[in-house]
Amino acid sequence: MLTPFQFSQLAASAWSGPALTCHFASVQRYVASSGYITETYHVSYHAGEGQQHVYQAGAPCPFEAITQAVAAFAERCTVPQLGAAVQGHASRIVSAAEQAFSGAPSPAPVQEPEVVCAVCREGRDAFGQCRCCYVPAPHLVASAA
């Protein structure tokens, strides 16, 4: 399903816990002479200095392997909020990757409501200003367009 490089990149981007000493991500493929093929995805996160803390998992699905390894960290984490935050980040990354690899159309971007000035009824720029607050220099407006 995924190449070893893709799996390693996905495993690295899914981790948001403490600084890692390293992470290992591997894909094991078994091909029998009868034609039977199976793949197993393994990921291990090595966190901490001195005493190593290893959180690892293996599964036939790459997304499940990453989710299980991150869940292993969350189970042993002494700060529950950190464990929940790391699991939430990993689930968002894994969900986005699952959707991207499935070929499903990406969800429409969420339209943020435009902030409008109460005085001049004009939208605000990137600095949060409107024409009531300042008068833009014409030479800068022309060069920006």
pLDDT in tens, 34-80: 999 999 999 998 877 655 677 888 899 999 999 999 998 888 888 88
Identify which of 75, 79, 98, 87 has the alpha carbon closest to the alpha carbon of residue 15: 87
Domain that residue 9 falls in: 4-102
- Looking at the structure of the chain, the number of domains it has is 2
Q: Are residues 56 and 9 in the same domain?
A: yes
Residue 125 CA to residue 31 CA, distance in Å, equals: 59
Q: Are residues 68 and 92 in the same domain?
A: yes
Mean pLDDT value across the chain: 80
Task: Choose between 53 and 88: higher pLDDT.
Answer: 88
Question: Does the reported pTM lie above 0.75?
Answer: no
Residue 60 CA to residue 122 CA, distance in Å, equals: 55
Q: Are residues 64 and 127 in the same domain?
A: no
Q: Are residues 29 and 88 in the same domain?
A: yes
Q: Are residues 26 and 97 in the same domain?
A: yes
